[in-house]
Amino acid sequence: MSLRTLSSRLRVAAQANRTIKSNLILRPGATAWMRSYSTIKKFSKDHEWIQVTEDGVTTFGFTNYGQGKYGDILMVEFQSANKDVKRGDVIGFIGNLKTAPDIMAPVSGRILRLNESLTMTPSVLNSAPETEGWIGQIQMGPEAEKELEEFLEEHEYKKLCDQEDADWRMAMDKKIDPKK
């Protein structure tokens, strides 16, 4: 599905979850900062993308660069437990030929939904990580404003990826020619 369709569906979903939102204690002016983030995609140093709507619902996943580092993703499982998460809480894991890294919540808040279809077609995390391969949606809590400040704009993120590529190439060159 296109990101525009996804965003509009998220808006509908966020409205449906108004009762959840009203239970959160929002600082005055909180909705203002949420509005300033709405529909802009942001990125983290750990190769996650987030997309935030006016109602403070964040959809997130791995970036294309991130999935490339994992190689073929063969398994996805979600923990069924806590709906209220802090940034960094484990919400599931993926499995590939080398390891089984945790999937962690990128922001604090309440999990609205997780993309359960990934457990049946994990390869979508590789083939469409920034669209169909979205991982979950979180209704952001009050701590999220500060957390969002650490996310990068697209051009900053691209710079980071280019730098990682350059670092990797240099490391490879050193391996091949230790004199470098």
Partner 1 sequence: MLSLGPLQASTTTTSTVPTCPSQIPRPRLPPLPYIYLRNLPYHRGSDLQQFLVDRQIRLRKEREDKRAVGADETQQSADLSEEGSHDLLLIVEHTPTYTNGRRNRGAQAISDQEADRLKKLGATYVESLRGGEITYHGPGQLVAYPILDLKPIKLSVRCYVSYLEKAIIATCAEWGVRAMTTENTGVWLNDQQKIAAIGVHVQRYITSHGLALNCNTDLEYFNQIVACGLSGKETTSLSKELGDPSINVATVIPMFVSGFGKVFERSLVPLEDKDKALEQAVREYCQTGDFSKLKDL
Residues that bind partner 1 (CB under 8 A): 44-48, 62, 66, 69-72, 74-75, 77, 87-88, 95-104, 106, 119-123, 126-127, 150, 168, 171
Q: Is 71 or 174 the residue whose CB approaches partner 1 more closely? A: 71
Q: Is 17 or 67 the residue whose CB approaches partner 1 more closely? A: 67
Q: How far is the CB of 28 from partner 1 (least distance, A)?
A: 27
Q: Is 17 or 66 the residue whose CB approaches partner 1 more closely? A: 66
Q: Is 105 or 112 the residue whose CB approaches partner 1 more closely? A: 105
Q: How far is the CB of 40 from partner 1 (least distance, A)?
A: 19
- Cα-trace Rg, the chain: 17
